[in-house]
Amino acid sequence: MNSEDLSGFLKALRFAANKHRNQRRKDKRNTPYINHPIEVCYVLTESGSVFDPAILTAAILHDTLEDTRSAPEEIRELFGSPVLDLVKEVTDDKHLPRFVRKRLQVENASTISDAAKQIKLADKISNIRDILENPPWSWNTRRKLDYINWAEQVAGGLRGVNKKLEDKFDELVRISREKLDKGNRR
């Protein structure tokens, strides 16, 4: 990343941190929400060897349209149309019921751009890691497994763009199922 790209990424990080500043994950630790987009970027770079500035910038912003009062025009003005387009590709329409949003993620996964597929896959890896290590406080084993099964359906449409991310996802799903199944037998 050159200095201009790094500056743009840090600007996006500051923007996302400000937008998510009062949000917390629904886990026992009450984790600051901004940790999630940071983790998605970390997964992209560390597990997927993704260093494209537009992808990383969109990854840090990936939940701002969906979960904050950010407007598409604001993201376009600050970060450009290519970043906004990626953010929009990975954003659910919160006006739709949850079950419809989940179904649409499965149906649309194969139709999004390769860059958006990588962000979406890193997002699923991050969420599954959280379910395994610091789950939402109200989730039982069945709900955790349901999420993993659904994420696997989404990931089916994301394949073919980054083998390293796909392998990390598959490994994490295997480990998660083993751990959750082992806990179920106690």
Give the active site residues.
Answer: 66-67
Q: Going by C-beta distance under 8 Å and a sequence separation of 6 or more, which residues neighbour residue 24? A: 30, 31, 32, 33
Gap between the Cα atoms of 171 and 49, Å rounded: 17
Gap between the Cα atoms of 64 and 50, Å rounded: 21
| Pairs from 113-117 (Cβ < 8 Å, separation ≥ 24) | 113/85, 113/86, 113/89, 114/161, 115/52, 115/54, 115/55, 115/58, 115/86, 116/58, 116/86, 116/89, 116/90, 117/157, 117/158, 117/161, 117/162
Residue type, position 45, single letter: T
